[in-house]
Structure 1
């Protein structure tokens, strides 16, 4: 049930009302403010504030400032009068009627705003279309003008050429008339002379053209094109490099590496699984990687309980990430929850299979943390087994070797 906020303060002038609502941790993203001319509502879970205003206000010009653990309203009155109280006294039916009326007004206003936006968008599209049509029409007219100018230019050139041809034809006709006025030769003689002229002109033209061709051929020596020799046929051998795994022993652990990479891919796909229990979480809070980083920061500040909570939520979203179990086991060790630390370390080791170089460091941490929990429960033999398993993974780790020697000494003292 929401908590009604009654600890507020307000002041007024003949034209303005100043209202201050103290809300710890309020922010603009989470606060829901609803205001009409007769009704004001603020919902910031778990707090709720309602005011049935004494007189109408101009809700379009009124303002709200959210921040510094408070919401400050500046409400402008429609009539310049002093109010006797911020909220009017009314029964439940009247208040319900005012609420419903305010909601209807807000819905109508939102509908009008949506229609106005749609109308403005249509007008913008219409204006854009008109501008594009004008641009296309101008381009089309420009192209047509260029075509028309070219047509006129070609027409003028053609007319000038025709005029030149007519002038040349008239000149030849005049020359023919002059020749016709001279003494005409017999028909056979004229025919023979015409044949000689035609054959002689063709022979001379052919010879000249042939001479030009011969001259053009032999004036410049032929240059052979430098054409490369044809390629010799042969086969090309193609070799493919083998699949490279992140481990140095990839040839002998190929199957194990494939299985580990398949498990990692399954874990990444599980990150997008829908969990109804966490439907109300923020978007970043539904990401196991984000929750893991959050838990790591809390662990660094020694807030182990909060870190456990972050890791637990992440595990509910995706229980295939072994790092979450290892980190939660470390938190349980700090809080002396030894059985839970053993359980989380064992679950992490189950996920860290098959054993490959890519998960070697995580397996070593799981063995060390489970061995530490066993030793704190005075189960030194079981703890020594985990420490020896960690040393088999990383034999050069001096810290783990030193702790294993201490456990051996304790076991020797107990057996004596």
Structure 2
């Protein structure tokens, strides 16, 4: 049942109404404000505030500021005039219900119009963006086509220039070959004339020069073929090399195994002695691999107010076995001491999940989980949630005086009759 709020103050000018509504523990996150031109509602559990305006207001331009346990409204009147009262008088229950329904319908219509306008604006933006993208793509396509055409023209010109160069460069070379051929032919004819004058030596000269010349050419050609006949390169292959895995970067032949093993052992002992982080499971002793032993160690550290070390012990125990509810319950107590309130809520909730089914044997643990979670909620100024957890704890143990007194204090804080502690 919501609690109606009647404690408020208001001031006005001819165009504006200033409304101040005090609510303990109110914040932007959990305050529900609904406003139309005729009706204003504020819902902050368990409080409810309603007002039916004396005259219409401009709900679109009006605004509210939430903070410091108060909500301040700045409401602009649609017509400049001084109001006799803030809320219209003489309104029965049925009339109020009609005003509420009318305000809800009006808000729905306004939200629908805003949604349609937003959707239309979004469509226009998408259409404009699509047109711009099409234009950009068309310009890019034209630019690429122009580049291709320019490259084609350039390549064609270069090819034509190369062909012309080949024609002009090849013609003198042909002429030189022809002249050299004519000179050789003329020389051969002169030699033949000389040979004809020496008839007795013609056959010998012919037999010694021409065949010898042919054999020398053949021998040179064969040697050239032998030089060009180079064997093909060998096929590629891969060699797989396996290295022995090592913790240290040095090679095994350069290291001293005994000294390295001693160093690793000392590092593991130092981590256990410092207890500043969670060690690796391979570094643990046999007794340290037992979750119950770790839980007892965490309890002893908690008793000496070494809460960080106790959390580390519980963390390692949870790594070994995450189904023990007392580990989460004890770690929640450590987080409460260290003001890690969100972690305390999370661990208490996990403990309650594991403490099922609710039986007599786990009643004490369930009550502690509710109390610790409720304490964390209250320290976060979430008093309604904290009160629910304390009431759940009282259902388990109704005769617990300490829990009863704390629950009563939380109720007084919610109702505003007691200051926060």
Q: TM-score, normalised by structure 1?
A: 0.49
Q: TM-score, normalised by structure 2?
A: 0.48
